[in-house]
Amino acid sequence: MSDMFRITLPDGSVREVAPGTTPADIAAAIGPGLAKAALAARVDGEVRDIMRPLEGDAQLALITARDEADALELVRHDYAHVLAEAVQALWPGTQITFGPATDDGFYYDVKAPDSRAPFSMDDLPAIEEKMREIIRADKPLIRQVWSREDLIAKWEKDGETFKAEWAKELPEGEDLTVYWSGEDWLDMCRGPHLASTGKLDPQAFKLMRVAGAYWRGDQKNAQLTRIYGTGWLNKKQLDAHLMRLEEAAKRDHRKLGQEMDLFHLQAEAHGSVFWHPNGYVIWRELEDYMRRAVNGSGSKEVKTPQVMDARQWEQSGHWGKYRENMFVIPDETPNIEDDGPMVSKDADWMALKPMNCPAHVLIFKQGIKSYRDLPLRLVENGCCHRNEPHGALHGLMRVRQFTQDDGHIFCREDQIVAEVQDFCRLADRVYKDFGFTYAIKLALRPENRFGTEEMWDKAEAELRDAVVRAGMATQEYGWEELPGEGAFYAPKLEWHLTDAIGRTWQVGTIQSDRVLPERLDASYVGEDGERHRPVMLHRAIFGSYERFIGILIEHFAGKLPTWLAPVQAVVATIVSDADDYAHQVADKLKAAGIRVETDLRNEKINYKVREHSLAKVPQLLVVGKREADEGTVAVRTLGSQGQRMMSIDEAVAMLRSEATPPDLRD
């Protein structure tokens, strides 16, 4: 019995098993239902193949479809392998590279044979059918360990130049894992995988699109085709996902922005937004709302320069960590090393600011600060520029020029928790005003960071303590800690909003930073008469106005709350005899502060209704001869059927109520 392994299960029970026993054997011993449901195993915290023999005493948990996150990653990884196998079966001579799981599916980068054109959308139906054939064949997925040298020889023999190149760069003498699909297809992979292709649902995946890619992401290398798919545990999940995608396409802020005449983007300012009058109304309403939201917090609004000397960015640490994403410009006579990223001591270089924080430190440093001056809360609607890659730009969601509702709180050590706690309450109020639910996550220290371990220990504990005291470190608020996800200078709390169709968006943050005040030599005079470093809390709620507006457009499908709508009401005539009355109605609405337009065109009323519905006008007030005689309006609310007859005063009162921002309502 001394050679037996002790395997501890999640319920605390222990099973003694012989060497060579697999998690699948243990699942079968527990019961046939579990044996069928088990997809993989977590052995001492590591996800492994269910058919991989146990190697010693271990903690064991069996993974089933109920463990959705682990299960989805497994099946998506397997779908990627089946995709590669299918492509090579249909077109011998295709070379494969890599194919990971993604957030909602998988992809594989492949190189078509020289005898044919790169793969296209037209090829996807045939690939899907071949994938289903492989899945239905229920081919066992068998893990093996090969020597590096044998695997290189195998890839070179098969003409897999990309795989051979990658294997050659791995350390000499290292054993590598491969997986067979049945007896006729092999891929180099760390795993884990399911026991067989038959564990996948042949109706739970769909190939979505193809795109160009480069080997190892370098445009100097060979061009490949990336085939994207979405994969799920069952067809019901797939159908729900496809329905979400269809709904998301209807809500696309770029499409709605054009229909509603809000903004446009064009090559002359790639990555920056041209705001039209209607779109800028939304912007100004949000700006006014945010000013009111922070007004009572003792915050002081500032404005800082767009361009600052490169030495400032070098001192702050951004030049070394963030240089490639900054727009750098010469200041008269540049003098910089051509082949080096660092500024020479005689350089005259400037940079467009990618963030506001160093400028706020410079304001803090003007004059001597006392402990009595703290906390000092500075806010700025600060315009920033970041040199994002062309391929990463996406409508309003990712741009090169953006404006943050930015703020920095300079405080003493004993003030941090209370300040963060207050910010948690402020963010809660703001997001609820817009109808969002959210989750709070704590992003912890990354591997590459500034500062001491003691600094990071304090900062993480303070943020955690503030959320606990605010009563938000609970399941209700989606509380979660994210190891390694913090910024290089500070841990951060993140607010992840959930929109109307279940997507999440990370927007607000607050970071507890001891690094930047140290690097930029910020200090205050303490009660003891000595100099002390303030702690700097970086915080934003919208994140950026551009992205938040994009999120709002998609969340509301363009049907913005009346207080945010660029045009809140249109008075439309049925007959020209009502033109004068339409002007009277519009004048009363304008006097009540309503953004109103008139539509007196010689068009049928149904045409006008359709047009203003497309523009997402919240209220259409229809008037004809009868309404003019009776002093009424026929109100058609966006998204509702039929109409309601109201007096002018009733319509004005209704619209005034709807047009009042939520923070100003009784």
Residues designated catalytic: 357, 386, 404, 406, 408, 492, 538
Owner of token pair 């005898």: 115
Q: Which residues pair with 570 in a beta bridge?
A: 597, 620
Specify the pairing of strand 14-17 against strand 5-8: antiparallel
Task: Quote the CA–CA distance of 444 and 538 in Å, as a whole number.
Answer: 15
CB-based contact 21:28 (threshold 8 Å): no
Say if residues 446 and 488 touch (Cβ distance below 8 Å): yes
Does residue 659 sit in helix, strand or coil?
coil
For residue 54, what is the DSSP state? P
Calculate ∠ Cα 429-433-437, nearest 5°.
80
Taking phi over 0 as left and psi of -120 to 50 as alpha, with beta for the rest, 95 belongs to beta
CB contact at 8 A, 342 and 319: yes
* Residues 356, 302: Cα–Cα separation, whole Å: 11
Angle between helices 68-90 and 124-136 (to 10 degrees): 110
DSSP category for residue 349: E
State whether residue 554 is helix, strand or coil. helix
Distance in angstroms (rounded) separating the CA atoms of residues 214 and 81: 19
Distance CA(490)–CA(511), nearest Å, equals: 6
Using the Cα atoms of residue 607, residue 611, residue 614 and residue 620 in order, give the sign of their dihedral: negative
- Closest CA relative to residue 227, chosen from 78, 79, 83, 126: 83
Our measurement of the distance from residue 101's CA atom to the centroid of its chain's CA atoms, rounded to an integer in Å, reads 17
Q: In whole angstroms, give the CA distance from residue 249 to residue 553.
A: 12
473 touches 530 (CB < 8 A): no
Distance of CA 245 to the CA centre of its chain: 16
Q: What radius of gyration do the chain's Cα atoms show?
A: 30
Q: How far apart are CA 511 and CA 523, in angstroms?
A: 19
Provide DSSP, 561-613: -TTT-SS-EEEEESSGGGHHHHHHHHHHHHHTT--EEEE--SS-HHHHHHHHH
Q: How far apart are CA 179 and CA 77, in angstroms?
A: 12
How far apart CA 358 and CA 374 sit, in angstroms, is 18
Give the pair of three-digit tokens for residue 549.
């507006």
**C-alpha span between 57 and 64 (Å, rounded):** 22
- Here the tokens at position 449 are 């960071």
Give the number of other Cβ atoms within 10 Å of residue 528's Cβ.
Answer: 8
Q: How many CB atoms lie within 10 A of CB 87?
A: 23
Q: Which long-range contacts (CB under 8 A, 24 or more apart) does 329-335 make?
A: none
d(CA 195, CA 95): 25
- Tell me the pairing of strands 596-599 and 569-573: parallel
> What does the DSSP 8-state code read for residue 347?
-
Give the residue carrying structure tokens 């660092």.
Answer: 342
